[in-house]
Amino acid sequence: MDAKSIRRRQEVDDEDGIWKYVFGFTEMAVVKCAIELGIPDFLESQQQAVTLDQLSSALGCSPSALYRIMRFLINRGIFKEVEITPSTEAALASTTPSAPTSGYVQTPLSALLTRDGEKSMAAFVRLESSPVMLAPWLKLSGRVLLSSSSGDNNLHNCSSSDAFEAANGKDVWRYAESDPAHSKLIEDAMACHARMAVPAIIQACPDLLLLHGEVVVVDVGGGDGTTVEMLVKAFPGVKGINFDLPHVVSVAPKRPGVHHVGGNMFQRIPKADAVFLMWVLHDWGDEECIQILSKCREAIPEETGKVIIAEAILTEIINGYELGTIPRMKNNTNTKNSKLQEKDHNNNNSYEVGLMLDMVMMAHTGNGLERTEKQWSHVLTAAGFKSYTVTPTSDVVSIIQAWP
C-alpha cells in the first residue's frame, strides 16, 4: 500500500471515528433508560433467557421500541442475546417443527446496573445523567476561557469560574444542601462506589487499620456512612465516626459501630487514630486540600496516627513515557518511587477513567482536579506530612497513607 493509500485509509478511519463524539451521549442516555425501565432487574430475577414478548409484557413496554433499545445495548456488550430451543417435551407434543427463538440474558456488565445489586453502579449512572449534573458540561468552555483570561498558569491550582454554579445558580455543595433529592442522589452514588472500592482497598491493604490499642477511624465526607461501616466490619474492634455536613448526617441511617457527626472539615475534624478520605480531596484545589489535610493532621496523634486517602492517581506523561506510574494491581504493593516505563494508554482503563474523572472535576467543582503522585506529594508536604506510601488497588482508586 502506497503512502497516498495509507493517508486515505487514515482519513476514512478518522471520519468513521468522529461519530462517537457526535453521538457520544447516546450510550449514557440508553443505559439510563434501561435502568429506569428495570431491564437489568427483571433479567436478574429470571433463571433462563427471556423473549422480547415476555420482557415487553413484564415491563409494559412497546415491543418494537424495546427491541431497538436491546439491539443497541447488545451491540455494546451490556446484554446478550441467545438462542432458545424448544424443550424436548414441547417438541414431542408439537405436530409441526418449531424454529428456535432468541432471548435476552444478563451479563456481568448489566448486573452492575441492577438497582439494588451488591455491586450496583446504577445510582452513579442516575446521578451523572441527571439534568443537574449534565447542565454544567454545556458551560465547560466558559470554565476554561475564564481560567485563561485570569492569567492563572498554575496547573496545580487553577482558579476560575464554576461551571456547576453557572448552570445551576449555586455551587454543588450549596445546591445539594438546598435540594434533599439531589443530595440523596449524590450519597447513593458514593455508597455504590464504596461497595466496590472498599473490598479492593482491604485486599490491597490488609493491615490498613491494624493499629495498636482501641482504634477510632473517622471517615471525612463519609456521606451515608457506608464506607466507614464496611471498614468497621472488616477490622473488628475499630470504632467508626462518619463525619460530613450536618444536612448529610442528619438523614444518614443508623449503622452498627458507627457514630454520625456533623461539621465542617475546614474548621475541625473529630479526633481519631486514623482519618480516612475517599473522593473528597479531588473536589478541591491545592490551597483547600492543604487546609483540609492540616485539619486531618491536627485530629490524629503525632506519633501513631495516619491519614488514609483513596483517590485516582494520574500518570505523568513525558514524551510518550509514563513517569510515576501507579498501575492497577491485585496484590499488596507499595509504590513510592516508580520507574520510567512505556505503556499503551489507549488500553489502560485506569488511566482513561482518571482522565474522565478529571473532566468531571472541571465540570462539577470550582477548583477540583485529579492529581499525579508528584502533585499529591506537594500538598502532603505543604500540610506537614513527613512520609507517605502509595498502594494501587484493583479499583480506580489508589491508597495513600501519610504520617505526620
**352 is known as an active-site residue:** no
Percent of the chain with pLDDT over 70: 82
Which residues have C-beta within 8 Å of that of residue 312, sequence separation ≥ 6? Answer: 282, 350, 353, 354, 357, 370, 396, 397, 398
- The pLDDT value given to residue 117: 82
CB 307 within 8 A of CB 293: yes
Catalytic choice (187, 288, 370, 373): 370
**Nearest alpha carbon to residue 274 among 330, 318, 214:** 214
3-state secondary structure 163-223: HHHHHHCCCHHHHHHHCHHHHHHHHHHHHHHHHHHHHHHHHHCCCCCCCCCCCEEEEECCC
Which of 193, 260, 282, 364 is the catalytic position? 282
Question: Whole-angstrom Cα distance, residue 201 to residue 208?
Answer: 9
Mean local confidence (pLDDT), 17-27: 91
User: 23: how many CB neighbours lie within 10 A of its CB?
Assistant: 10
Which domains, ranges and CATH numbers included, belong to the chain?
3-111 (1.10.10.10), 191-403 (3.40.50.150)
Tens of pLDDT, residue by residue over 48-61, are 999 999 999 999 99
| Most confident stretch, 81-85, 147-151, 314-318 | 81-85
Residue 269 has pLDDT above 80, yes or no: yes
Q: How confident is the model over 364-400, as pLDDT tens digits? A: 999 999 999 999 999 999 999 999 999 999 999 999 9
Q: What are phi and psi of 131, to 5 degrees?
A: -55, -35
Low-confidence winner among 25-29, 115-119, 326-330 (lowest mean pLDDT):
326-330
Task: Please report the beta strands in 33-126, taking only residues with DSSP state E, as ranges in sequence order.
Answer: 80-84, 101-105
* Mean pLDDT to the nearest integer, 331-345: 36
Active-site residue 311, yes or no? yes
Lowest mean pLDDT among 25-29, 92-96, 227-231, 380-384: 92-96
pLDDT at 101: 87
With bands split at pLDDT 50, 70 and 90, how would you rate the model's confidence at 15? Answer: confident
pLDDT of residue 345: 39
Report the C-alpha gap between 382 and 290 in whole angstroms.
6
- Distance separating alpha carbons of residues 114 and 187, to the nearest angstrom: 17
289/346: higher pLDDT: 289
Residue 158 predicted with pLDDT over 90: no
Q: Cβ(283)–Cβ(368) under 8 Å?
A: yes
Which one is catalytic: 229, 288, 311, 322?
A: 311
> Over the range 343-362, which residues count as b (16 or more CB within 10 Å of their CB) and which as e?
eeeeebebbebbbebbebbb
pLDDT tops 60 at residue 6: yes
State mean pLDDT over 166-179: 96
pLDDT of residue 327: 40
d(CA 286, CA 283): 10
